[in-house]
Amino acid sequence: MEIALTLLVVAAAAFAIRTIIKTNPARPMVLPPMPATPYEPTLPAGPAALHWSDDGRYLVEVMMESRYQPALKELAGEHGDQAAAVPYLATLVPDDVNPYESAAVAVFLAGRMVGYLSPKAAVTFREHLKRKEAEGQSTTCDAQVRGGGKWQNGRLAYVVVLDMEPLER
C-alpha cells in the first residue's frame, strides 16, 4: 500500500512538472544590442581633488584591453628595442555611469583613456576617496607607460603602472 501511494505521488509530481514546463516554455534571454563603438567615459574638466603617491614604487597596474595598445604605443614614444618607462601624470576618474561595472574607476594619461583599475582595486580606491572626503571626484597620481620592448621577433605589450599604495591585498 505504501509503495502504491509513493508511486501515485511521484506520478502526480511528474505530471505537474510536465504541465508547468509545457505552459511556461523557456524563452531565450534577449540581450541589448552592442553599441557601435565601445563605451568610454570622458575626462572631467577642472582640477583634481587630490594627488596620491607611494614614493615612486609604482605597484598598481591598470587593467587594459587591447584597444588601448595603439594609444599606449604612441604615449611610450620611440624607445628602440628596450622597454619603455615613460612618466606621466595619471587622472583617476570614478565612472558612475559605466554600463559594465558599477564601481569602475577610469584611468587617463595626457587626456587619453588608457584603462581601468581592476574591480577589486576600484572598490578599495572608492573607499579611500570617501575617507578623504573626495567621493566621486577625480584625483591624480604619477604613472609610467612601460613595455613595448623587443622579445622573440616581436614586441611586448604596453602597461600602465601607478604610483599609489597597493589597492589589492
Domain total of the chain:
1
Q: How do residues 69-85 score in pLDDT, each as one tens digit?
A: 999 999 999 999 999 99
CA dist list (Å): 56 to 52, 136, 159:
11, 25, 16
Task: With residue 161 as reference, give the H or E element that holds it.
Answer: strand 158-162
CB 168 within 8 A of CB 124: yes
Q: What are phi and psi of 86, to 5 degrees?
A: -100, 125
Q: Is the pTM of this model over 0.85?
A: no
pLDDT bracket for residue 23 (50, 70, 90): low
Residue 124 CA from chain centroid, whole number: 13
| Residues of the domain holding 104 | 1-169
Q: What is the pLDDT at residue 59?
A: 94
Q: What is the three-class DSSP state of 150?
A: strand
Q: What is the pLDDT of residues 107-120, one digit of tens each?
A: 999 999 999 999 99
Decide if 92 contacts 138 (C-beta within 8 A). Answer: yes
